[in-house]
Structure 1
């Protein structure tokens, strides 16, 4: 597969980047859109992106202020992020799609599914936050620290750390306040699309009880746990995550495709 094409897209008054890959041969498969979490970028989604792109048109978005995108002049709300996702995909001609969010990206994805429910065919929440049992910044930091030390690979830690450095502490902590205040339980209850909650079985940020609770909030909710990994499950177990997403959308992986680089 060729590398994704980077597009600079301005939408909802802000600039971001979209990395687009067309599935070989086209066909009836839905498009899939991937959303990163706080401080991160498309980079820790690249393995999953490449795998999904063998079956579906795949788009990874760097939200405004993250990755190499311009920093907005004011703090963006979760609703602002959702408006950017919806506006950017509309500009690219992606009218309906499967929306996949990781960590804080699950909040943006949920909000987008509420803002324009007719466009979101299915919603995938990977490592969703914030569990009220870990409802303080200190508790979240402790859980992320445990995850980095005990559950992640050197490559996933390197990707996350370098993206945090690119994000910078000022923007990170402004966005952190937004993340901590978002009422995911209340908002997710209003989603009408089918929802897959996906977690690494060792994830201390999105534990089993919390993930099971979220899956039970919606009429068509499912929970999948990927064994032997933590919060950055889409990087450390990209094949298993790809398979879960394809099964959820009614597709199967193509035989014999190359695995993403390690």
Structure 2
């Protein structure tokens, strides 16, 4: 796969980056679109493996939200709703009007809010390692869980990606965003989502416990839970092939002997 094209897009008064891999022009049938949204402090980089896997079958869009990655810091703290509005506006500028939306960690909050703002555009919602567990809603408990994850359940490469992005984000912007993350009632907001929802967690993830993920999946009319063995919170990096296959199955894209072909949504 060639390197994704990078688009610098201003939407809702903020500047972000979108990394795009599309199918060849003139293909027999249009490809579905999948959008990847990162979590707090990080960027599109920990989606690189998943982006590459999915690009074989779908048009894929990985977003660096305003204030993260190499994007400029906004003048004020952005709410979850602000980020969702940016996502929807940036994709509209790229002509992406309907898509499967995938979020990881705090990105699940942004994705959930986008699905509430414009439900007709979100065909499927995938929440990986969702936060914040309503039974563990303190910064200390979240920090301890994240520390345990990085020490015992992450690969050296996933830790390196997350740490270098945290350093690039900087403590000021991280802490401002952390307050927003802790205040967002994911379990309440997810109940209003009308799209089918797939909750994905690494089976060893101490951040997104199995009890919490079950509760989230159960809050929606069409929710499913998938656990992927042998990995922790950054499941999309450490088990990119399994995650890609789960997203494609969930989106109604089936693999045949000749490769991956589009099928009817399940």
Structure 2 equivalent of residue 260 of structure 1:
none
Q: Secondary structure at the match of 1:188?
A: helix
Instruction: Within 5 Å, give how 1:152-191 maps onto structure 2.
Output: 152-191=154-193
**2:69 equivalent to 1:72:** no
- Deviation (angstroms), 1:255: 6.1
Q: How many residue pairs were aligned?
A: 257
Given candidates 90, 104, 107, the residue that maps to 1:105 is 107
CA contact (8 A) 1:23 1:58 kept: no
- TM norm structure 1: 0.96
**2:22 equivalent to 1:15:** no
The runs of 4+ residues in structure 1 deviating greater than 2 Å are 23-29, 252-257
Task: Give the superposed CA RMSD.
Answer: 1.2
Change (3 A) 1:157 1:93: same
Q: Secondary structure at the match of 2:41?
A: coil
- Which residues of structure 2 form unaligned runs of 5+? 260-266
- TM norm structure 2: 0.94
Farther-moved stretch of structure 1 (28-37 vs 72-81): 28-37
- Which residues of structure 1 form unaligned runs of 5+? 258-262
Q: Secondary structure at the match of 1:3?
A: coil
Farther-moved stretch of structure 1 (135-144 vs 22-31): 22-31
Deviation digits for residues 54-86 of structure 1 (CA, Å, limit 9, x no counterpart):
000000000000000010000000000000000
Deviation digits for residues 199-247 of structure 1 (CA, Å, limit 9, x no counterpart):
0000000011100111111111111100000000000000000010001
Return the alpha-carbon distance in structure 2 between the equivalents of residues 134 and 256 of structure 1.
46
Return the alpha-carbon distance in structure 1 between the equivalents of residues 123 and 35 of structure 2.
11
Instruction: Within 5 Å, give how 1:23-172 maps onto structure 2.
Output: 23-24=23-24, 25=27, 27-172=29-174
